[in-house]
Amino acid sequence: MTIHKEGYTTIALSLIFIFILNAFIDYRYADVTWLRWLTYILSFALFIIVLQFFRNPSRSFTSHDLSVICPADGKVVVIEETEEGEYFKDKRLQVSIFMSPINVHINRNPISGIVKFFKYHPGKYLAAWNPKSSTENERTTIVVAHKNGTPVLFRQIAGALARRIVWYVKEGDVVEQTKEFGFIKFGSRVDVFLPLGTKVNVKLNEVVKGGITVLAELS
């Protein structure tokens, strides 16, 4: 396991904060042993939490031309037909994955193809499980066209804790299935919009793994 590059700055700032906090407690409350030890324990816990959030575990990825691979770790919270109003402007099958703060937050391309559309939207920070988060939160919308012509839309959505979405793609890019397309810092969500009639291979509340779980099958 390695640490993702998006974590370097946050981890460095966390270490500086922990150093300053512990130095202050040691200086100001040198005689209060229980407070010093409590600070040490909480500081260690904070560092481990931040470190694990930015972990990049080694994995054997799933790759199949007509499979839609899960773009993120987390839990399936939505499987439903819905109106996609930004790009398709018609009915689509939506599958949403909620990413808690303890999940790996790397986002991976669900299919290979060409990026036909990309847009970043600044917005609110509603809880990621709130249905309105799909249209009101900070988010990106990415559409990749498979070589058979089928377009798949996927959307990074910031959550109540997330304050920064990172993306590595732009319109016209050729992307490869399971390769990184972005990262969301702290709790968040990824929506995938598929053609109606697409065979979905996951169930509600199922725990899924980015780059491994087969979300659906294209026809």
Distance (Å, whole) CA 137 – CA 168: 20
Asked if 189 contacts 56 with a C-beta cutoff of 8 angstroms, the reply is no
Cα 82 from Cα 100, distance rounded (Å) = 24
18 Cβ contact list (under 8 Å, min separation 6) = 43, 46, 47
- Contacts for 97 with CB less than 8 Å, ≥ 6 apart: 70, 71, 72, 73, 74, 75, 76, 77, 189, 190, 192, 208
Q: Is 123 helix (H, G, I), strand (E, B) or coil?
A: coil
Strand partners for 214: 69
| CA separation for the pair 137, 208 (Å, rounded) | 23
> Residue 202 corresponds to which tokens in the numbers above?
């996951």
Count CB neighbours of 7 within 10 A: 21
- Comparing CA positions, the residue from 165, 181, 183 lying closest to residue 173 is 181
Which residues are identified as catalytic?
188
